[in-house]
Amino acid sequence: MWIKAVPKVGSNNSNNTYINEKENNMTNQFSRSELIYGKEACDRLYKASAAVFGVGGVGGYAAEALVRMGIGRLDIIDNDRISVTNLNRQIIALHSTIGEYKVDAAKRRFLDINPDIDLRTYNVFYTPETAGQFDFGEYDYIVDAIDSVTGKIELVMQAQKSGTPIICSMGAGNKTHPEMFEVTDIYKTSVCPLARVMRTELRKRGIKKLKVVYSKEPPIKPGESSEDKGARRALPGSTAFVPGAVGLIIAGEVVNGIINGD
């Protein structure tokens, strides 16, 4: 992208001067991050690979933060389309993207942030049946931001099998206090209904530990919605700020884990 330079006030030079804005921006795109971590540490991130399963309210923010930090390669996995009800919380949801597959909207957005990222999209609903499409051993970190308990458990099992670090999001719906979320082990969680189910199922499978982001805030009972008609269970309520906060916490754990070798 070439832009016209703004002439200095009082300058008599009427010649148009152009600068290569893209080259200048890309050279310095991650300089503020490097002030925190240092160039050598950030180089580890630039060479790293991660996968975000689910790019909705939580996963969309987590994935975008990884892109903005300069992750070298990112796989994003989701088979859902953007709907009008996603507008209140999902970073990729705009009126202009309604109806698009989430991975397609995310890809366009993420490449606009960092055109040099190696970005792969999978329009897939992750289940034990679709797990074979992924080589979990090639990732440096896995993010679980999906809603299905079956899928979450399968992700944890695959991560353990491949020896790949994973962090899982517990329930972010029906909550209004982002400051109450914390990073801990699944077996130290309480209150959260999803965490309770995960503890039970993972214990049955011999999983000894799992890093999760969860909250002790009791979930609010949501009111009825027109979307509930015909649904097998009541749809969770959501806010603009809780899912995003959870996603950013997750991204921080991934970045720090890769940089510090955790």
**Residue 252 tokens, joined:** 């921080």
Tell me what percent of the chain is helix, strand and coil, each rounded to the nearest 5. 45, 15, 40
Q: What is the pLDDT of residues 143-171, one digit of tens each?
A: 999 999 999 999 999 999 999 999 999 99
H or E element in which residue 122 lies: strand 118-122
- Domain locations along the chain: 48-260
pLDDT, average across residues 55-67: 98
For residue 164, what pLDDT is reported? 98
CATH class, 48-260 region:
alpha beta
User: In 3-state terms, what secondary structure has residue 185?
Assistant: strand
Taking the alpha carbons at both ends of the chain, their separation in whole angstroms is 39
| pLDDT confidence tier of residue 223, bands split at 50, 70 and 90 | confident
For residue 233, what pLDDT is reported? 66
What pTM did the predictor assign?
0.88
Report which of residues 184 and 12 the model is more confident about.
184
Q: What is the pLDDT of residues 16-32, one digit of tens each?
A: 433 355 445 445 899 99
For residue 246, what pLDDT is reported? 98
pLDDT at 77 over 50: yes
Q: What percent of the chain has pLDDT over 70?
A: 86
Bridge partner residues of 51 (DSSP): 75, 142
Report which of residues 234 and 84 the model is more confident about.
84
For residue 103, what pLDDT is reported? 98
H or E element in which residue 41 lies: helix 39-46
For residue 92, what pLDDT is reported? 98
- CA–CA distance, 64 with 74 (Å, rounded to integer): 10
Helical pair 39-46 and 242-260, crossing angle rounded to 10 deg = 110
pLDDT, average across residues 210-221: 97
- CA–CA distance, 155 with 161 (Å, rounded to integer): 10
As a whole number, the mean pLDDT across the chain is 90
For residue 27, what pLDDT is reported? 56
